[in-house]
Structure 1
Amino acid sequence: MVDKPHLDEEALAELQNVMEDEFETLIHTYLSDSRERIESLKAALNDEDADAVAKTAHSFKGSCINIGAPRLGVLCREVEKAGIEDRLGDAQPVLGSIEEEFQRVAKALHALMAGAPDKRVR
């Protein structure tokens, strides 16, 4: 398995300090966009569109890294590489791992948002 945390709490704390009152909106936007990207990856794999798989996975990877979800970012990189190399059969099982990891990340982010009254990571 990928040797990365589900959430990078230090990165999230820094992002929260920068975003201040917009942090919660950012998290909700990330979660919504991520669900759409997962559906786009499924469609691209179903259509056997390696270019769309690579581009969608690349974009998803960037947002995961930016939000502080490094394990999910690594999984997206695997799918991106499979798309670039036109190895879509290798991407399919990783997509399942992406879906599972996204559920863990979403749950952790929801818990974070429901946590402390000031919603601080630290």
Structure 2
Amino acid sequence: MSDSHLDQAVLASLQDVMGAEYPVLLDTFLVDSDERQRHILEACEAGDAQALRLAAHSFKGSCSNMGAPMLAVLCRQLEEAARRERLDEAPDLIEQIGREFAIVRILLKSERQRYR
């Protein structure tokens, strides 16, 4: 697993804390992330900078907690663009977030397979 996409130390810590519930945490993050990305897209399409900022902020925290540093950085950039009401920057950042999440999804599903 690539440390540039997932922080193994964070995952190990989550595994220690969560114990048998660790696979559930992985599953929940994946499902929750789809919902968060949907909120980001909807806010962008509506031109709602405040909703976009909040959605990006929320996803950033979730990504940080789950050890997805590159994804968290992209969300922070989107949050900042929305805070500055630079919605013209949002589509490219949202696309980058989608691509990075696709990689993280594959890596976390691989991680999840270890617990079947």
Match of 1:46 in 2: 45
Which deviations, in whole Å up to 9, do the C-alpha atoms of 1:3-47 show, x marking residues without a partner? x71000111001100000111111111111100111111110000
Match of 1:109 in 2: 108
Matches for 1:64-103 after TM superposition, within 5 Å: 64-103=63-102
Say how many residue pairs are matched.
113
RMSD over equivalenced CA pairs, Å? 1.0
Match of 1:60 in 2: 59
Judging by fraction of residues, say which structure has more helix: 2
1:59, CA displacement in angstroms? 0.4
1:53, CA displacement in angstroms? 0.4
- 1:34 aligned counterpart, secondary structure: helix
The amino acid that maps onto 2:16 is N
Matches for 1:13-52 after TM superposition, within 5 Å: 13-52=12-51
Hey, which bits of structure 1, 4+ residues long, moved more than 4 A?
none
Match of 1:6 in 2: 5
The amino acid that maps onto 1:28 is D
TM-score normalised by length of structure 1: 0.90
- 2:4 aligned counterpart, secondary structure: coil
Q: Distance in 2 between matches of 1:56 and 1:18?
A: 27
Q: In percent, how many aligned pairs have the same letter?
A: 42
1:91, CA displacement in angstroms? 1.4
